[in-house]
Amino acid sequence: MVHNEVWIEKPFAARRAMLQTMLGPDGTVAVDKYRLQIIQTYPGGMYRELFGGLDLAVHDGVCFKLASVYAGGVIKFKPQKLQSIDFRVRPVEALPDREKHSVLIVGTRDGLVPFEDKRVPFHARFTKDCIAEYRYEAGQFEFVKLRPDKTKPNTEYVAKVTYADMQRGNYEVYYHGLLDEKLQNKPKIVQGSISQS
């Protein structure tokens, strides 16, 4: 259970100032077992709201909400939208019901990032080496398609995977915490902990 959840409804400058006070000398802020790190800042600021997207939430620590994306990983915007954020999201228990069947993992065609942190509360893993292609338009981070990546064996890549994608049986789904009932017995469900290191 998540306690003391507080959404920060302050102007952008105030939220930015708050974030700056939280960052350590290495540019990260500890969030329980997770870490937040701004990898690439937008010119002129610590971060910038895009399409009404970036909010700061506080509950037993800190996390970001980016548009309607509620999962863990690295988001790399297209070159004209220079901003990358390594972030972790609220535990699955804290997500709105409609979001519990969505998951974001990492991997893009032009900026490959191995998904190495297994501590996110909920994620999907491709059963074959793949590259995820995506687009980010009108505030939506949209999964487009997958294609095999034979040059990167044994490397995991991810994208926003919907319930419909999972129904096709292409993923092994791991989770920590509450699992949406709609997912029961759909893909291969593995309950319990995965790597915590």
Three-state SS across 19-49?
HHHHCCCCCEEEECCEEEEEEECCCCCCCCC
Q: Give the number of other Cβ atoms within 10 Å of residue 138's Cβ.
A: 7
The answer to whether 132 and 143 have CB atoms below 8 angstroms apart is: yes
Confidence (pLDDT) at 102 = 32
pTM comes to 0.17
Please give the average pLDDT of every successive group of 10 residues along the chain, which has 197 residues.
28 45 45 29 29 27 28 29 29 36 30 29 31 33 39 40 37 27 31 24
The answer to whether 107 and 129 have CB atoms below 8 angstroms apart is: no
Confidence (pLDDT) at 88 = 31
Type and span of the H or E element at 171: strand 171-175
State how far the alpha carbon of 113 is from the alpha carbons of 32, 66, 87, 155, 159, in Å.
23, 19, 14, 9, 11
- Chain Cα centroid distance, residue 54: 13
Q: Where are the alpha helices (DSSP H) in the chain?
A: 12-22, 163-167
Contacts of 54 (CB under 8 A, 6+ apart): 47, 48, 64, 65, 66
Confidence (pLDDT) at 197 = 22
Confidence (pLDDT) at 53 = 29
- DSSP three-state, residue 66: strand
Contacts of 25 (CB under 8 A, 6+ apart): none
